[in-house]
Chain A
Amino acid sequence: MPLLEIEGLVVHYGKAIALEGVTLTVEPGELVGVLGPNGAGKTTLLKAVSRVVPASGRLSFKNRDLGPMPAHKVVGEGICHCPEGRRLFPELTVLKNLMLGAYLRDDKDGIAADLERVYGLFPVLRERRTQQASTLSGGEQQMVAIGRALMGRPSLLLLDEPSVGIAHRLKNEIFRAIRDIRDSGTAILLVEQDARSAMAVADRIYVLEHGRVTHEGTPASLADDDSIRQAYLGV
C-alpha cells in the first residue's frame, strides 16, 4: 500500500491552472524525484500536499484523506515540508529554528534524539546553533531547513529545490544527507531542477511539464529516453 497517493490533482491560481490532474504515488521509505522546467507546477504539487494551496482531486496519506485537513494538521500526520527558498525564521537562532520543527511534539527524549540525528547529518549546525539563521551561508541555511523539517519526525519529507543557490561542495553534502535520510527509512518526495543530482539519488522519477506528468520510471529507464536526456541532462 502506498504511503502517499495522489490522483487527479488539480490546482488553480485564479484563472491560471497550475496542475491538471496529476497522479503520483510514494511508497514507504521510497525517494521519489520530480523533475521539470520552471513553472511546471513542481512547487505547487508540494504545497498542495501540505494543504497550503487549495486543490481538488484525491490526496491520501497512510490511507487517510488529507483533503479536509488544514495545513497544521498535515504536519501532525507525519508530512514535513522543507520549502523552496528555505524560509528560515531569520532572526531566530539555528537551534530555535530546529526546535520549531518539533512544535507539535511533546516527547522530550525523542526530540533530543532527533536533534542529535540532525547534528549528526550536518555537524556544522552544532557549532552554529546559537547563531542567527540569517547569518549563515546559503548551504548552511539549507541544512537548517532540512534539519528543521526532520525535527517533525516525518514519515514523508517534502523537499523543494534543496540545491538552488548553493556552493558545489555543500551541494554534495546535502545530497549525501538526503540519501542518508532515505536509508534510515523516511520517504522523500524531492522536487529538483538539477536533474543529474536528483536522478543519482532517486528510486523513481516523475517528469512534470505544464502541470501534467509526462514521464515516469526509474532513473535508469528515463536516462535511456532521448527526449529526457536532451531536455534534462543536456547530452
Chain B
Amino acid sequence: MIEILVYGAVISAIYAMLAVGFTLIFGVARILNLAHGAFYALGAYTVYALTANLHVPLLVAAAIAVVGVGLFGVAVERVLVRPLRRSQLAVLMITLSVGLMVEQVLLLTFGSEARNVPSMVEGAYEILGADISAQRLLALAASIVILAGLWLFMQHTRLGSAILAISQDAEAARYMGIPSDRIYSIVMGISAGIAAAAGVLVAPFQTVIPSMGLLPLVKAFSIVIVGGLGSIPGSILGALLLGYTETLIAFEVSIEWSQIVSVAAVLLTLVLRPAGLLGKRAAF
C-alpha cells in the first residue's frame, strides 16, 4: 500500500515534468514537439558520458546535462522549427526527425546495450515499513522543486507573464511589444531542460538505452491529451492520474498491463471529452 503511494508519487512527478514541458511549448508556440523524448534521453546519456568517461562529479554532470540540453532545445527551435512554423505538419515532421536523429546518434556513439548511471544518493529509507531507495525520493523531491520553481517563475517574473500572455493571445502580445520569436526559443529551452532533468533523475533506476525517450514521449502526449493540451494544471492532474493508475495496475495485476493505461486513457478522453479534463477547446 505504502509502496503504491510512494512509487506512484515518484512516477507521477516524473510524468508531470515531461508533460508540463510538452504542453508548455505547445500552448505558447503551437509546437507539437515529437523530439521531447529525445531531450529526456539526451539528459540521461549526457550524465552517463560525463560521469563514466570523463569522471565529472555527478552533480556537476547533472547541471551540465540540464543546461546543455536546454541550449540544444533553443538551437532546434531557432534553426529547424522557426522557418517551418507556419505549417503544423512540417513542425511535426521536423521534430520527429530530430527525435529519430538523436536516437541514432546515441546508438552509434554508445551502442545498444543498457548503460548504468550511478545513484546521486545511496541507500534506502524505510517509510512505514516499505523500503524506498533514496534516489527515488530524490527524484520526487527534485521534480516538486523544479515544478514549483517553474510556477513561481511564471507567476512572478516579467518573462513568465509574457509567456502566459502569448499563450492566451499571441496577437495581443505583439501589441505589448513582446518579441514572440525570442520567447518561443526561451520556452523551448525551458521545456527541453525540464525533460533533460527528468532523464537525469531517473537514469539511476531506469534502463538507459538509445530508445529510452520513446515511451516517455508517448506518456507525455497521452497525459496532455487527458489533461487538456496547453493546460499546465491539466498536465499535472493527468500525470497524477496516469502515474497512480499505472502503479496500481503494476502492483495488483502486472507491469505489462500497466502500459495499456495511457492508451486507454487517450481513447476515453478523445471520445468523451476531446478538450481534455482542464482544456478549453479540442486540440485536434
The chain A residues found within 8 Å of chain B, CB to CB, are 50, 52, 70-76, 80-83, 87-92, 96, 99-101, 103-104, 148-149, 152
Asked whether any CB of chain A lies closer than 8 Å to the CB of B129, the reply is: no
* Bitwise interface map of B from 179 to 206 toward A, beta carbon under 8 Å scored 1, else 0: 1100000000000000000000000000
11 A–B contact pairs at CB < 8 A?
A: A50-B174, A72-B177, A72-B180, A73-B177, A83-B175, A87-B175, A89-B169, A91-B164, A100-B173, A100-B178, A103-B158
The chain B residues found within 8 Å of chain A, CB to CB, are 158, 161-162, 164-165, 168-169, 171-180
Top 5 nearest A-B pairs by Cβ distance?
Answer: A75-B177, A87-B172, A104-B177, A71-B174, A81-B175
- In the assembled complex, which residues on chain B have CB atoms less than 8 Å from the CB atom of A83? 171-172, 175
- In the assembled complex, which residues on chain B have CB atoms less than 8 Å from the CB atom of A101? 176
B161 in complex: contacting residue of A71, A76, A92, CB < 8 Å: A92
- In the assembled complex, which residues on chain B have CB atoms less than 8 Å from the CB atom of A103? 158, 161-162, 176-178
- In the assembled complex, which residues on chain B have CB atoms less than 8 Å from the CB atom of A72? 174, 177-180
Q: Is there contact, CB below 8 Å, between A91 and B162? A: no
Q: Is there contact, CB below 8 Å, between A96 and B161? A: yes
Q: How far is the CA of A92 from the CA of B155 in the complex (A)?
A: 10
- In the assembled complex, which residues on chain B have CB atoms less than 8 Å from the CB atom of A76? 177
Q: Is there contact, CB below 8 Å, between A75 and B172? A: no
Interface centre among A52, A72, A87, A88 (most CB of B within 10 A): A72
Q: How far is the CA of A52 from the CA of B171 in the complex (A)?
A: 8
- In the assembled complex, which residues on chain A have CB atoms less than 8 Å from the CB atom of B171? 52, 83, 87
Q: How far is the CA of A71 from the CA of B171 in the complex (A)?
A: 10
Q: How far is the CA of A82 from the CA of B171 in the complex (A)?
A: 12
The answer to whether A92 and B168 touch (CB under 8 A), given A100-B161, A100-B162, A103-B162, is yes
In the complex, what's the smallest C-beta–C-beta distance from B37 to chain A, in angstroms?
A: 29
Look across to chain A and name the residue whose beta carbon is closest to the beta carbon of B164.
Answer: A92
- In the assembled complex, which residues on chain A have CB atoms less than 8 Å from the CB atom of B178? 72, 100, 103
Q: How far is the CA of A88 from the CA of B165 in the complex (A)?
A: 9
